[in-house]
Amino acid sequence: MTTPPATAAQPGRTVSLREIGPARRGTREDEVVVALSPAFAGHFSKTIVDVPHAEVLRQLMAGIEEQGVTARLIRVRDTADLAAISHIGAKLSGSGISVGILSRGTTMIHQKDLARLSNLELFPQSPLLDAAVFRMIGSNAAQYAKGESPQPVPTRNDQMARPRWQAKAALLHLKEFECIEGDRGPVEVEAVFGPGTAG
Amino acid sequence: MGTSPTTAPTTAPTTELTSADYPLSINRPELLRTPTGKSITALTMDAVVSGELSAEDLRITPETLQLQAQLADASGRPQLAGNFRRAAEMTAIPDAEVLAMYNALRPRASTGAGLAELADRLESAYSAPVCAALVREAAEVYQRRDLLARPAADSDH
Amino acid sequence: MTSTAPRQSTGHRQSLRTEILEARPVNLDGFVEEWPEKGLVAMESAFDPAPSVRVAGGQIVELDGKLRDDFDFMDTFIANHAIDVASAEESNAIPSAEIARMLINPSVSRNAVLAVTRGLTPAKVLDVVKLMNVVEIMQGMQKMRARRTPANQGHSTSARDNPIQVAADAAEGALRGFAELETTLGVLRYAPLVAIALQVGGQVGRGGVLTQCALEEATELELGMRGITAYAETISIYGTESVFIDGDDTPWSKAFLAAAYASRGIKMRFTSGTGSEVQMGNAEGKSMLYLEIRCVLMAKGAGVQGLQNGSISCIGVPGAVPGGLRAVAAENLVASMVDLECASGNDQSFSHSAMRRTARAMPQLLPGTDFVCSGYSSVPNADNMFAGSNFDTEDFDDWNTIQRDFQVDGGLRHVREDEILQAREKAARALQAVFAHLDLPPITDDEVVAATYANSSNDYPFRDVLSDLKGAQSVMDRGITGLDLVKGLESSGFHDVAENLLTVLRQRVSGDLLQTSAVLTADFVPLSAINDPNDYAGPGTGYRLEGERWEQLKKLRHVTSSTNPETEVG
Amino acid sequence: MSTRDDGPPGTQLVVGVDIGNSTTEACLAEIGPDGSISYLGTNLTRTTGVKGTPDNTAGALSAIRGALARGGRSAGEVHRVLLNEATPVISGLAMETITETIITESTMIGHNPTTPGGEGLGVGTTRSIGELGEQEPGQPVVCVVPPGWDFDDAAAAINAAVGSGVEVVAAILAGDDAVLVTNRLVRPVPVVDEVAAVEKVPLGMLAAVEVAAPGRTIRTLSNSYGLATVFGLDPAETRQVSPVARALTGNRSAVVVRTPSGDVTDRRIPVGELVLRGAGKTLRVDVDAGAEAIMDAVARAQPLDDAHGEPGTHVGGMLAQVRDTMADVMDSPGQPAVPVSDIAIRDVLAVDTFVPAEVRGGLAGEVALENAVALAAMVRTSRSRMQLVADLVSEGLGAEAAIGGIEGEMAVNGALTTPGVDRPVAVLDLGGGSTDAALLTREGKCTAVHVAGAGELVTKLIDSELALGDREVAEGVKWFPLAKVESFFHIRHEDGTVQFFDEPLPPHVYARVVVLTPEGPAPVPTRHGLDSVRRVRREAKRRVFVVNALRALRQVAPAGNLRALEFVVLLGGSALDFEIPDMIADALAPHGIVCGTGNVLGTEGPRNAVASGLVRAYAAAPVRAGQGPTR
């Protein structure tokens, strides 16, 4: 009890997703749906820059919870298109707000009345998304759900992301496509976090 | 397929150009006019300062595009020449309409009937048979590749 | 967690040498294994089609193993417009090795090669270039480049969209030798002012420089029609039907747009490149180069005069797979061997390694292309609004030295500091006068001084952005054209700049710049593949860096005098 | 230069031209032999250069050519161009912050995190979370959690300590984790979070943490006697902590730490003097005395001859710069430079405002609304170079040009063409830099004044009070009504009405407070709600335009008596504002004045008054009747 953990990102934490049943439309107005891609926390376990999916989920959900809003997780299985995943999540969300996320980390906040190809906030540069950014994304999604006006999460840019990450991103994208199960609808899932957590 | 120089809708220049005539601005300035009928040599600083020139004077004419098409043909570039002939036809179409036509050619933006109308309009309103042929060809391919817009009644919301 | 953090160590003890190697910039670059089934492969894939062609009834009924009924729209467009039906069967029957040899054989003329390539199918073209190693590709490029004289293009942008910076950097860039200058914006509404600045600055640096402003189609076309810009190149095309549709276009819509530009007298080229299809997840299992060859032929069929290719913004993808840069060199060659102007890439941030950045450009710089870079950043990369280029202002002296070392013409030259300062100052003053004439937000003398000596946008006083944006809007509302710029320059005493710009505008009326590979010389002579055709026919022929131009390129910042070794020349 | 007469015999084609600070307006008319006027066209362009200087020529010519084009006439037909006698008016703005809040010894955390955790009051000794285990049971503890602690780990550590008997009564966190931690506590306690400099919280001191229920504000720590009760203070100590209580009023959460000499002070910053000279007096007033004191002094020094500010202060710098700019403008090549001493500040407007500023010594980036004074100043000269402009216009157009009359008089003259207006009439020209008033009495006597402060000052007040940091956004807030985007298909206007849309609104305005521009809704990047944005906007307009309307009208009204005015016509760009005319009309109504926005010529709205006034004056001039134009 005397040595405080030093960092927020705990490499020790793991997550597994337990399927509960077909995803249904939520009735609570104070919920945000987190819509996960086919390979998230399944075929893949971390983002393109090695942020564990466990940490991504914990931070997204913490950002939502801190705002007093409930997070509900679904996995979309029949597409790996971020806009489609996010829009499916938004349509199922009681508040109409969703956060969609791909295995490599690319994330989007969506709303049910928007056109599928539109979005509220998009974070396209997956190599620049860390735990703190995921927390802010969760927080913003929850604020939208409450009808507040959050300031958009600042997006970053890095000219040298191209040489380092462009090809790996393409590869991860192709792999995620491989995990698509074309005939299966979205399922509701529960996150079961592994060792290292007390909550 | 409509690429022979004589099918041009505008008055086809009678001059037969060869590669040696290029660049026209230096070797054959007497052939070049502005849409207002001025010679290219009239585009002088004095004319600018005195306000004799308008933006209209800086546009290319269909006749000049036909001359450039001849040069492209003469230098073995039939596709480039074809592009210049379509361009010659398009000089008459207002800017906004050109962009609207371009948008109509985007995938699933127009119905088959819409593209047919567009082709007819190109022919009848702008005497643009080469452009019309391109649009008709697109309509045929779009039909086969499922790239036409569905009629409005069927569209889902 | 930034993308440039070094790799994490494994925890095992490493040799000191490994530590040094791990810390080398090249190890910040990303590399991936091939995955040919998904198209993540440069140019050697078992999944690419085998070449075939059959003509019946005056049209192509079979293309690369597909029958006409099964053509996707790329096949259809290429069959209908790109391939010469009359010679197709005959040309495709020639063994690929023989065509590859024609490409590198100096005694086969460029025209003789074109007579064959105009009938080739995409798979046949691939089959030919697959036989060539990178030196052979360069030899082919040396002969097949459309314009005899090579050139270069610069990017002139500002992280703050500051028009004074763009004018000063455009003047310096033009003076250093760029034949074309391209800009784009952070805040799009700034476009009219920045485009004006680019045009005025460019004409100060060297009369006849051609400028463009990359924007969405409507505004880009409008600025071009008004004579504020001179050409356009950011019209993207893709190698698969699905990605083309994702981009909300078809070959027919793009062909229509190509004619629209020509109808306004504006030079235009398309843009494509290896890797874009697989990057978007829809390569349909074909190699990057095969898909790019389809793009090149589509551009050819549309009748556009040229193409910007060399992977462009997707360079990280071919750059990460084996043989990727060979494929990139090959795609430039393919554009040239079907007689298109080729602006050959080298225009996007490519590698953390200076050695790799340099090597990447050799297949274009050594043989020469129509534009070696389709955007060498003539501003510091931090100001480059195209997300950074492979070369920037810091590399000027290196580039000039490499030109001198190998006696090759990469389009640039060393210019003395006093000339540069003079051009920058004059460009800023000229823009100041034009803004005053057009009643746009004033440019202060402090800004002129800053522009003269500045490196980056950080070195300039802040502009009143609100007033600038209102001014920019008024440029559009008031219908200001290139003629107004000429008037403003003339009435404020910048007679020579006004004449330069008027001469460029006059070219619009002649259409001479619409021909393949056209640029304007400093004497305002349109130089294109028609009057400056590449006549390479082996050693001692074709473009040679010699005479006055070679004397120019011998000059560097520091060269010790041989007559008095205590001094430097230049 | 020749005059031609191509119209019917005796008729003359004239153009009135008004060169204003920002726009140049032209009015083309034909005047019959009997003095009758037919208006043929008007035009408006941007003024080139500073008003009253030769640079105006280009703008004047383009305004004239535009009017000619609209009227279908050519330059050769013009008999005479009539220019206003315009003297250059230059205005400047400056702002001085005059108060500063300082927290010493990290006594207080008074910021308002959006999501504190738990509820109630906890009083105990501050301890770092890492040392909770060493704490003896039975002594109440306020747990301090430094940055880097994960919420799960922090909650586990607190639960473990509580389990071993430590009485944790409250917590202070660095991260935005209060709800997360509270949700995981076995025994919930009040938690204040987002305390960025949490390491500066003194440890081992008695501290109180209070969190109110959502929608409520704290009751104990914002009450001096509450603080006295919590910390057992004597009356002298209670007096000392009362600024702390005041500073915490209105917060949902707060922390107060009792340290030996901790304090919160509200300090006034001396920002120097303003020296006003006028009416034979020289008055000195401290800028930090506030707007009321400054305006009192300005009123006593009326008419103002000049003003100076203390060098090195914003106000001093601004006044000097306004003067220098005017001197530069008045300099002409080949003539001796205009001495700066010739140029005098002729009016000053001071407005109380506030500026959100970070509190010095704060631990959580607390922001206090500090008081500030905004000043607008105006300088004009008696030297006009309009004759030179007239000569240049004449040369450029090939027609005669002359000074046709003084601006104020001409404005009144033009305003009289507004249907329903009669003498005595006063006009208020609501511009960008200055507010101008002119009065035409029943007898035809005209007086005019310029006072400092107008549209630009309103923009500046909105920008700083809402901490927008973006003049463009502030302009938007000033010009357009507000609304809140409540869904993709409806907005609620500032008056409470709801408007529905068939097409979804763009995503970037979703859930935001927006201004309704003609191009569609544009988001206002602020955390303020619609109501506070609206309040700031209206207050800014009131403090500038309503105050200046009254000030300026008093200066032209006979004996300063507003009741002596009958008609007030509002002119100028800001008369097009959607609420300023109503606000001024409301303020003037008690004085029995008819006030409204002008409609010059019955068609032009509040525009073109001076230009058409020039035409009217020329038509009415006795020298012209039957005699034709004179040179």
Residues 6 or more apart in contact with residue B7 via CB below 8 angstroms: B85, B129, B130
**Domain residue spans in chain D?**
1-87+384-417+607-631, 91-98+269-377, 106-265
User: What single-letter DSSP state applies at residue C118?
Assistant: T
CB atoms D157 and A4 under 8 Å: yes
The H or E element spanning position C370 is none
For range D502-513, the mean pLDDT: 89
- Chain A residue numbers touching D132 (CB-CB < 8 A): 1
Residues making up chain D, counted from first to last:
631
CB C78 within 8 A of CB C297: yes
Whether pLDDT at D342 is above 80: no
CB atoms A167 and C31 under 8 Å: yes
Q: Which overall architecture, per CATH, does domain C53-141 show? A: Orthogonal Bundle (1.10)
pLDDT tens-digit map of D524-533: 988 888 999 9
Closest chain B C-alpha to C374 CA, distance in angstroms? 22
Distance of alpha carbon D620 from alpha carbon C95, whole angstroms: 96
Closest chain A C-alpha to D481 CA, distance in angstroms? 18
Is C566 among the catalytic positions?
Answer: no
Q: Which overall architecture, per CATH, does domain D91-98+269-377 show? A: Alpha-Beta Complex (3.90)
Is C236 among the catalytic positions?
Answer: no
Domain range D1-87+384-417+607-631, its CATH number among 3.40.630.30, 3.30.420.40, 3.40.50.800, 3.50.50.60:
3.30.420.40
Whether pLDDT at D466 is above 80: yes
For range D578-602, the mean pLDDT: 93
Higher pLDDT, C370 or D395: C370
Distance of alpha carbon C460 from alpha carbon C452, whole angstroms: 10
CB contact residues (below 8 A), chain C span 434-473, against chain D: 439, 464-466, 469
Q: Which overall architecture, per CATH, does domain A15-151+160-191 show? A: 3-Layer(aba) Sandwich (3.40)
Alpha-helix runs per DSSP H in A10-92: 53-66, 82-92
Closest Cβ opposite residue C29 in set A158, A164, A169: A164
Whether pLDDT at D409 is above 90: no
Minimum mean pLDDT among C496-505, D339-348, D406-415: which range? D339-348
Minimum mean pLDDT among A177-191, C35-49, D43-57, D212-226: which range? D43-57
Nearest residue on chain C to A125, judged by CA atoms? Answer: C3
Alpha-helix runs per DSSP H in C411-458: 417-437, 445-453
pLDDT of residue D383: 66
Its ipTM equals 0.80
The H or E element spanning position B47 is helix B45-49
pLDDT tens-digit map of D163-201: 999 999 999 999 999 999 999 999 999 999 999 889 888
Is C153 among the catalytic positions?
Answer: yes
Interface partners of C (3+ CB pairs, < 8 Å)?
Answer: A, B, D
Strand partners, D406: D85
Question: Which of C492, C530, C532 best tests the B interface by mutation, with the highest count of B CBs <10 A?
Answer: C530
Q: State how beta strands D99-104 and D108-109 pair.
A: unpaired
Domain D106-265: give its CATH code: 3.50.30.70
pLDDT of residue A74: 98
For range A24-47, the mean pLDDT: 96
Closest chain A C-alpha to C77 CA, distance in angstroms? 28
Closest Cβ opposite residue C35 in set A157, A164, A174: A174
Degrees, nearest 5: CA angle D63-D65-D68: 110
- State the pLDDT confidence band at B14, using cuts at 50, 70 and 90: low
Q: Which overall architecture, per CATH, does domain C142-229+344-570 show? A: Alpha-Beta Barrel (3.20)
Is C308 among the catalytic positions?
Answer: yes
Give every strand in the sheet of C180-183, ordered side by side: C210-213, C180-183, C153-155, C374-377
CB atoms C227 and B55 under 8 Å: yes
Query: At which residue do the structure tokens 């065509």 appear?
Result: C99
pLDDT of residue D359: 83
Interface partners of A (3+ CB pairs, < 8 Å)?
Answer: C, D
- Give the phi and the psi of residue A141 in degrees, each rounded to 5: -60, -45
Q: How would you class B29 by CB atoms within 10 Å of its CB: exposed for 0-12, middle for 13-18, buried for 19 or more? A: middle
- Do you find a cis peptide bond into A4, omega within 30 degrees of 0? no
CB A148 within 8 A of CB A26: no
For range A21-41, the mean pLDDT: 96
- Chain C residue numbers touching D471 (CB-CB < 8 A): 464, 466
SS3 state at D354: strand
- Do you find a cis peptide bond into D424, omega within 30 degrees of 0? yes
CB atoms A144 and D513 under 8 Å: no
Is C136 among the catalytic positions?
Answer: no
Q: Answer whether C55 touches B (CB < 8 Å).
A: no
Identity of the amino acid at B55: A
Distance of alpha carbon D133 from alpha carbon D194, whole angstroms: 24
Q: Do chains B and D touch (3 or more CB pairs under 8 A)?
A: no
Instruction: Give the torsion sign (CA, C497, C498, C502, C503).
Output: negative
Degrees, nearest 5: CA angle D603-D605-D611: 85
Closest chain D C-alpha to C509 CA, distance in angstroms? 29
What would the two tokens of residue A17 be? Answer: 């997703």
User: What single-letter DSSP state applies at residue C317?
Assistant: T
- Chain D residue numbers touching C465 (CB-CB < 8 A): 472
CB D275 within 8 A of CB D282: yes
For range D372-381, the mean pLDDT: 85
Closest Cβ opposite residue D472 in set C439, C466, C474: C466
Name the catalytic one among C62, C292, C347, C490. Answer: C347
Whether pLDDT at D3 is above 60: no
- State the pLDDT confidence band at D106, using cuts at 50, 70 and 90: low
pLDDT tens-digit map of D28-37: 999 998 889 9
Name the catalytic one among C48, C62, C96, C155. Answer: C155
Minimum mean pLDDT among D103-112, D131-140, D161-170: which range? D103-112
The H or E element spanning position C225 is helix C217-225
Minimum mean pLDDT among A117-126, B110-119, D478-487: which range? A117-126
Distance of alpha carbon C450 from alpha carbon C164, whole angstroms: 9
Distance of alpha carbon D360 from alpha carbon D588, whole angstroms: 44
- State the pLDDT confidence band at D367, using cuts at 50, 70 and 90: confident
Region at D277 (left for phi over 0; alpha for psi -120 to 50; beta for the rest)? beta
Distance of alpha carbon B62 from alpha carbon B45, whole angstroms: 25
CB atoms A128 and C2 under 8 Å: yes
Minimum mean pLDDT among A23-27, D26-30, D102-106: which range? D102-106
For range D304-315, the mean pLDDT: 85
SS3 state at A32: strand
Q: Answer whether C287 touches A (CB < 8 Å).
A: no
Strand partners, D516: D521
Degrees, nearest 5: CA angle C58-C59-C64: 140
CB contact residues (below 8 A), chain B span 44-103, against chain C: 45, 48-49, 53-55, 57-61, 64-65, 67-68, 71-72, 75-77, 79-84, 86-91, 93, 95, 98-99, 101-102
pLDDT of residue D310: 85
Residues 6 or more apart in contact with residue D519 via CB below 8 angstroms: none
Name the catalytic one among C233, C383, C447, C490. Answer: C233
Distance of alpha carbon D489 from alpha carbon C257, whole angstroms: 35
- Give the phi and the psi of residue D477 in degrees, each rounded to 5: -60, -35
Could you give the domains of chain B? 14-91 (no CATH), 93-157 (1.10.1510.20)
Alpha-helix runs per DSSP H in C478-546: 482-491, 495-510
Q: Which long-range contacts (CB under 8 A, 24 or more apart) does C472-477 make?
A: C472/C189, C472/C190, C472/C191, C472/C192, C472/C193, C473/C189, C473/C192, C474/C439, C474/C440, C474/D46, C475/C192, C475/C193, C475/C196, C475/C438, C475/C440, C476/C192, C476/C222
Whether pLDDT at A2 is above 60: no
Task: Please name which of C513, C511, C518 lies closest in space to residue C532, comparing C-alpha atoms.
Answer: C518
Nearest residue on chain C to B138, judged by CA atoms? Answer: C252
For range D376-385, the mean pLDDT: 78
Identity of the amino acid at A99: V
Q: State how beta strands D141-145 and D168-173 pair.
A: parallel
Distance of alpha carbon C473 from alpha carbon C460, whole angstroms: 23
- State the pLDDT confidence band at D25, using cuts at 50, 70 and 90: very high
SS3 state at C236: strand
Closest chain A C-alpha to C249 CA, distance in angstroms? 16
For range D12-37, the mean pLDDT: 90
CB contact residues (below 8 A), chain A span 61-100, against chain D: 62, 65-68
Question: Which of A166, A174, A179 best tests the C interface by mutation, with the highest count of C CBs <10 A?
Answer: A166
CB contact residues (below 8 A), chain A span 80-139, against chain C: 127-128, 130
Higher pLDDT, C383 or D362: C383
For range A185-198, the mean pLDDT: 82
**Domain residue spans in chain C?**
53-141, 142-229+344-570
pLDDT tens-digit map of A107-144: 999 999 988 888 899 998 999 999 999 999 999 999 99
- State the pLDDT confidence band at B153, using cuts at 50, 70 and 90: very low
Minimum mean pLDDT among A68-77, C522-531, D449-458: which range? D449-458
Residues making up chain C, counted from first to last:
570
Question: Which of B141, B142, B144 best tests the C interface by mutation, with the highest count of C CBs <10 A?
Answer: B141
CB atoms D471 and C469 under 8 Å: no
Residues 6 or more apart in contact with residue C279 via CB below 8 angstroms: A166, A169, A170, C314, C317
pLDDT of residue C53: 98
Whether pLDDT at A156 is above 60: yes
Instruction: Write down the mean pLDDT value for chain B.
Output: 88
Query: At which residue do the structure tokens 């003398």 appear?
Result: C445
**Domain residue spans in chain A?**
15-151+160-191
The H or E element spanning position D168 is strand D168-173
User: What single-letter DSSP state applies at residue D359?
Assistant: P
- Chain B residue numbers touching C303 (CB-CB < 8 A): 79-84, 86
Nearest residue on chain C to B86, judged by CA atoms? Answer: C259
Spans in chain C with pLDDT lower than 70: 1-11
- State the pLDDT confidence band at D595, using cuts at 50, 70 and 90: very high
- State the pLDDT confidence band at D86, using cuts at 50, 70 and 90: confident
